[in-house]
Chains A and B, each alone.
Chain A
């Protein structure tokens, strides 16, 4: 009898002390968590892929709620869930999403092996970042693609790969989630997120060289020399030339392709337009002649 009593008292006391300690700890170290974070977290895919740029979905949920409190969800995008998920999240948080238009990463360099002569050989660490720190690289163009694939390494979705024939990365439109990891990884800011466009059709300047005309001309056969012809030709005012470089605003561009025809250096590229249509217009010059890469990428993308 005594034996049982002792056991009960001892265990009871231990239980009581533990309960008090736990209660005190939970009061003292209580952390308030916004219940909306958990709700948003449930809407997200839960794949923890990191494509949004945050460490996992809970990080994204946290950022979304904070963004909503700050009054804007701009720049926050779940690449996996897409517009649908973001719409639900926005409803929950009572926000409107400004930009749910599908975007895609675009590589703005066409300096393939045949367009850009090699003037040197790089013998160091084979990453773009190291090569960029070393100087212009193996060619005379100090702005163009280095071809070591930092963007490929950065892509979580296997959407970007170096084409062995050209040495330039290519983006798979279907796999690209427009998370922007490659944009950050590229030391030369060649990759840009642009509107995916109807039927993946896009027109863009495939060059980021800011050298003056003669220097750019010497460095690469398809470099933009900032001549301004496209700027004058564009009926929608979508093209601006700054620092010897033309840029097409993808929000204003209506894909008329007039600029493609006038570019003397074939630096403006139109992708995913049907070839037959192109032959009737002045487009023919682009697709038939020097921009072979855009053609191959077109074909690839059509197959995909």
Chain B
């Protein structure tokens, strides 16, 4: 059988999955936990605690600040130290809640046992109830984009969901958090998938996994067959050819069900697919079956020069520094500290930045690899056009942004760019293509919004 993948462009970066076979360990509790109020796409959450308040693990500390928003729960027990600003993953000071940790006392409503809860034992669960619990537990997309999950499960009336696709691609180099989660918590993930399918009122499910994770493919195929055969659900594990950016929603939908999502504002559900990360499926399981809100996640801490890279089950709000120290400390010399992988991760200026809902990895790139080479003139080799997974012309878009020709940039579909960085990765002249395109895209989006506002 031909192994599936998406239809255009793509690159094959060096994998560097250093921590593939390193079992996950539970990270130590921090002394102080920092909770940015904006850990998701949409309106920042609104604090509901004040300085000096006592909180437990799982206590609501900030409620959703709008429709597209998500509540935030404390991951530690202790006292609210202050509500202040601190540098978060955006690189700017943003409002945060800081909690001094005292002990480890959990809210009683949370089921802390390891017993697998099956949907069959809860016949009273309705789709609405599932979506509601997901919403109230603050679950957002765990792959990095952090879009509130309940919104994805309730598509606009113009679109009809047909299937749920679990994104277990993990195409970014270095990151192995999703892989470890699949190997260690596969039963829970499948229950999570079942809940997602119930919530979205579909019976078809896919799990897309790249072929560099054969053990996960085998394990999940076997478990799926056991769990879903004879039920109304049809779940299929789809092995995918290794190619970046396969984990991009649009690319994944294309790879798994061969449907292409049209240009924005269309979203995957317009072609019938709801894409959820494996981490999200696990979070959904915990939220719905264990009543445990989202305050813990799997995170990879990795880098070629780290002495002891590893995978962690970590409470959110833990400063990255704690995890890096657990891996042997920051390497000597100049480093690039990334929240996320090397292709789409965000470079940070401080090791005090906390782990958030979307921090799937802390990657440290050292020495030469941390610096970009001096850009040279474009030699028009067309390699960027060849690798663009959206069928765009990066060289042209970058040039148009540089000369601020926004009308032309818009007509050349700059807003379709998914910022995967394939063009920049492949450019033999080391041109900062994506830097320019990203600025141009932001400007053009602004122009489009203001035009829409005028009408």
Contacts and interface: CB of A to CB of B under 8 A. Distances in A.
Instruction: Judge: A and B partners, yes or no.
Output: yes
A130 B371 contact: no
Nearest to A142: B92
A119 B349 contact: yes
A-B pairs, 4 with minimum CB distance: A135-B91, A125-B435, A125-B432, A120-B349
9 contacts: A119-B349, A124-B435, A125-B435, A133-B439, A140-B349, A142-B91, A211-B85, A211-B93, A212-B85
A123 B435 contact: no
Interface in A109-133: 119-121, 123-125, 127, 129-130, 133
B335 to A, nearest CB: 10
A135 B85 contact: no
Contacts of A11: none
A136 interface: yes
A215 B93 contact: yes
Contact of A129 (B92, B346, B371, B439): B439
Interface string B84-127: 11010011110000000000000000000000000000000000
B248 to A, nearest CB: 20
B348 interface: yes
A5 interface: no
A133 B84 contact: no
Interface in B46-96: 84-85, 87, 90-93
Contacts of A127: 439
A129 to B, nearest CB: 5
Contact of B439 (A121, A130, A140): A130
A134 interface: yes
B372 A123 contact: yes
A190 B256 CA distance: 48
Nearest to B442: A133
A133 B438 contact: yes
A134 B91 contact: yes
Contacts of A211: 85, 93
Given A133-B442, A135-B92, A212 B436 contact: no
Interface string B411-455: 000000000000000000000100110110010000000000000
Given A133-B442, A142-B92, A125 B349 contact: no
A204 B442 CA distance: 32
A211 B370 CA distance: 30
B370 A123 contact: yes
Nearest to A119: B349
B347 A134 contact: yes
B129 interface: no
Contacts of A136: 87, 91-93, 349
Interface in B304-344: 334
Contacts of B439: 127, 129-130, 133
Contacts of B347: 134-135
A215 B85 contact: yes
B22 to A, nearest CB: 29
A125 B372 CA distance: 10
Nearest to B371: A123
A211 B87 CA distance: 11
Nearest to B439: A129
Nearest to A187: B439
Interface in A195-239: 211-212, 215
A135 B432 CA distance: 17
B372 A212 contact: no
Interface in A143-169: none
B371 A135 contact: no
Contacts of B350: 119
Contacts of B436: 125, 130
Contacts of B90: 135
B125 to A, nearest CB: 43
A211 B86 CA distance: 10
Interface string A280-304: 0000000000000000000000000
B349 A135 contact: yes
A46 to B, nearest CB: 25
Contacts of B85: 211-212, 215
B435 A121 contact: no
Contacts of A121: 334
A263 to B, nearest CB: 22
Interface in B185-244: none
B93 A135 contact: no
A29 B436 CA distance: 42
Nearest to A136: B91
B144 to A, nearest CB: 17
Interface string A241-283: 0000000000000000000000000000000000000000000
Contacts of A212: 84-85
Contacts of B370: 123
A129 B90 CA distance: 15
Given A125-B436, A142-B91, 13 more contacts: A121-B334, A123-B370, A123-B371, A123-B372, A124-B435, A125-B432, A125-B435, A127-B439, A130-B432, A130-B436, A135-B346, A135-B348, A215-B85
Nearest to A211: B93
Contacts of B442: 133
Interface in A26-49: none
A97 B348 CA distance: 49
Contacts of A124: 372, 432, 435
A78 B313 CA distance: 63
Contacts of A120: 349
Contacts of A125: 432, 435-436
Interface in B368-385: 370-372
